[in-house]
Structure 1
Amino acid sequence: MTAWYEQSFGEDYLLVYKHRSQREASEQVEAILPLLQVKPGSRILDLCCGTGRHAVELAAKGYEVTGLDLSDVLLSYARRHSRCLPVTYVKGDMRALPFPDEMFDAVLNWFTSFGYFAEDRENEKVLSEIARVLAPGGKFFIDFLNRAYTVKHLIPVSEREEGDIRIREERFVDGDYVKKKITVAEGSTHRTYFERVKMYSKDELQAMIERSGLKVDRILGGYDKMDYTEEAPRMLFLGRKDRRVTKGGSQWKD
């Protein structure tokens, strides 16, 4: 059976998430970069880069950027809209990154591109891979939904039109997961997609991150840079790698 994330990030994704603008990405990069204190020229991995919105903003600021994603459609779009900026786009699975140890000075993960897998150990592989490819002292950023806020403020149904196409999104909480059913109606044709993200509390995700060999320095509640509370819409984890981590495990630096 094909996993949901292998089906949902195609041509219709570009339409469903059309409202996620380049301006939004620019503002998010402007908010986060000063907190990470990564010098221009540093090697940055945009993990699950999608259409490359954040990658091009980083490249425009003088960083050496690699964007990784599993979707051929989104990678193709990213390459076409790279604005002639030097971004390297690579297809790959975030649980097994096709990069050598300690290659990057920073790894950035935007827009809830975590929690895609049903098993905790699979999601933990993502964190372990972030730690492995980060150079010692390298910085990381993970933008994830706030479980408490999501459960309380979830919008069950929304509909909108894009030209002659009607988009319906149905959202619900099922145990530890937030799920979405997306229907794209074009004339008599209906295409349906599903999304599923495993929700973690702040303490659960922080513990997972730190078990992987990363150290959390700060948790924000959104791009307004306010500290996290249960009423905040997001959980933005910022931190660094304190340990030398390899595929065979991890050990403390001397």
Structure 2
Amino acid sequence: MSLQADLYTEFDTDPTNITAFIWWLAKKSGLSRNLRILDIGCGPGRMLMEYARLGWQVTGMEPDPDFYASAKQAAAHHPSIIIKHGGFEDLIEEDAYDLVTAINDPFAYVLDIPKRREALARVYRALRPGGLMFLEVKNFLYKLFYDQPIKEEFGKIDHRRIAHVMQQEIDFHNARWICRDEYIVEGENRTVSKTHTLAIITLPELMYFIEQQGFEQIETYPDYGVRDPQPINGRLILISARKPGVYQVASKT
């Protein structure tokens, strides 16, 4: 993997709880055991490996070139995993997937409201009748109240200590959250920096646009540890919604 992918893997959330939740959600929703899943914004592909271990037919989409290359490398020996370069705007399939996920904020990277509407429309078309969409976005109202403008954490890669400094600011006029990640490698004259700009999306806005696209059975979850729909009360918005229609189990190919 690239250094960027290594840093993401070291400092990002462990996928175990997420995988368990997605498996539970699929089972609760009556989806096929050998379902076809699309993960948009799959990063270096960690979730894809977990989904493949469940026996699912997995497709990952990733627009970032470094993450895309790392995901391709990670999936090289997994015949059930397909990696595509792109994001929501590149999703063109119709009636192709039982489950579409976008975990760790890919939807918030779609900055303009018309493009977010189009992204949801593309997901709707890509789902089979009765299929399920699952989105994770940050609860920015929570972050505005509780987060500090500068945070620091530490990790290790190949026995090298890494300092991760996050600087956050808000563009109130355009409703955007800007995070500057700086990774400092101990003992080396090297710093890796990356700036993320995300749309500030509220739950009522998100639910409105999901309903407008025709989705039904919209449910929210505050974190990956719960096993029943609950109101949002923390730093994450987890939301699932179903495409109308009679769900039929597809034959395995």
Q: TM exceeds 0.5?
A: yes
- The separation in 2 between residues aligned to 1:126 and 1:107, in whole angstroms, is 12
TM norm structure 2: 0.81
Q: 1:42 aligns with which of 35, 43, 46?
A: 35
Counterpart contact for 2:180–2:195, Cα < 8 Å: yes
Moved over 6 A (4+): none
Residue pairs, 1:1-254, within 5 angstroms = 11=2, 13-20=4-11, 24-37=14-27, 38-82=31-75, 84-86=77-79, 87-99=81-93, 101-160=94-153, 163=160, 166-175=163-172, 176-185=175-184, 187-188=188-189, 190-225=191-226, 227-229=229-231, 231-242=233-244
Identity of aligned residues (%): 20
Give the unaligned 5+ runs of structure 2: 247-253
Classify the secondary structure of the residue corresponding to 2:118: helix
**Aligned equivalents of 1:68 and 1:158: distance in 2?**
30
User: Post-superposition shift, 1:230?
Assistant: 5.0
Q: CA deviation at 1:64?
A: 0.7
SS in 2 for 1:79: helix
Contact 1:95 1:123 in 2 (8 A): no
Measured after TM superposition, the shift of residue 31 of structure 1 is 1.5
Aligned residues: 233
Whether the 8 Å CA contact 1:47–1:69 is kept in 2: the answer is yes
Q: What do the CA deviations read for 1:154-196 (whole angstroms, capped 9, x no partner)? A: 1321235583654422012222222111234465555542111
Bigger drift between 43-52 and 223-232 goes to: 223-232
Two-structure CA RMSD over aligned residues (Å): 2.6
Deviation of residue 118 (structure 1)? 2.8
Q: Deviations over 1:29-63 (max 9, x none)?
A: 11222223222211111111111111111111111
Q: TM-score, normalised by structure 1?
A: 0.81
Structure 1 residues 151, 27: CA separation in 2 closer, same or farther (over 3 Å shift)? same
> What code does the residue aligned with 1:69 have?
E
Runs of 5+ in structure 1 lacking a partner? 1-9, 245-254
